Structure 1
Amino acid sequence: MAPELAAAAVKLATRAYFVEYERIVYLDADIQVFENTDELFELEKGHLYAKWSHTPQYKAGYCQQRPDKVPWPTAELGPPPSLYMNAGMFVHETSMATAKALLDTLRVTPPTPFAGEGSSKQGAHRLSSANYMRMLSALWSLEISKDFLNVFFREQYKTIPNVYNFLVAMLWRHPENVQLEKVKAVHYCAGGSKPWRYTGKGANMD
């Protein structure tokens, strides 16, 4: 399995594994925590919590971070898009039932040849870790991982402040929404921003 697929698959696999814990805070490897975030474990149960992602500019010029700047053209395009979470950090409760539901949903997702190798006969109480990871990595090979998470958890998703998953690109994309003194965790997801290979030569790295 390609390293990037294996790493991404963990995002959903935590639902089935680590069931000895009631709640887990998932963090991508390029997120650095600077302040205590224990309060995340006290959030109301029954939801998946994540930072509201900045939504790319649509052709109409609309952006969810600045909805007042360019109104969404409801007459032409219908209701505005749902809030979109950034899957680099999220708070969720472990659940074998949810893990099975995720698998069942993946089984009706158009498969890649790699996904076809997986078995579809695993029970909820005997999930094969190999097949589970194969199905999940196939999802990422279709490059719909974030879309899948957003659709699957649409009714459960609740936003949390971006201080728990501060994307460095917010500094130049939406500086009006930045409060650096309150940031608790920084997500170095912008090109050239990774601390372990930072050169200062990337776009906006000044």
Structure 2
Amino acid sequence: VVGLAKGLRKVKSAYPLVVAVLPDVPEEHRQILGSQGCIVHEIEPIYPPENQIQFAMAYYVINYSKLRIWNFEEYSKMLYLDADIQDFLNMFFQHVYKPIPLVYNLVLAMLWRHPENVQLEKVKVVHYCAAGSKPWRYTGKETNMDREDIKLLVAKWWDIYNDESLDFKSAEAPSLEGEAFSKPSIMAPCPNRQFHTSQLLLLLES
């Protein structure tokens, strides 16, 4: 997320980065986000229906909680920067949202599955979602991770992350940390069960 925030500053984004976090995201991580100018919102998790839990992997349980973005009524427009549940949202909101083109959401697998559709020099946003592609855990040992284009994109991420000139500069970073959404929800109430995840939801005010 820090890398994303700095990347947005590099291209002189005019809008703040809103980060939705679940209750178990550590305070230390929230402070880091705030120090980089992110607006931190805490949201409550959403669980799959009781009769489907046995079939749901933890990863997909997390994705249900991302539907909370539809309760962010204080924003007239949002740009959602995580494509992991794009098809999930398509089923329910196909007439409400507008998908973004490949150049603004390069899923790395496109590099070897549909290379004819990728113009790497024009790509603006990279989604490091392929196994082994996370820059902070990159080893180059996983399948396809020894490709030169992958190495280039990982190096670009680190260049931005390590660029101190892109750090947020303000006496006090904007933050709504700790403030959970309490507006009437379009979602069903969440059962009171323990839930752990450090996954973050990334949004842009527009």
**What is the TM-score normalised by the length of structure 2?**
0.38
* Higher relative contact order (Cα pairs below 8 Å, separated by 6+ residues): 2
**What is the TM-score normalised by the length of structure 1?**
0.38
Q: Greater share of strand residues, 1 or 2?
A: 1
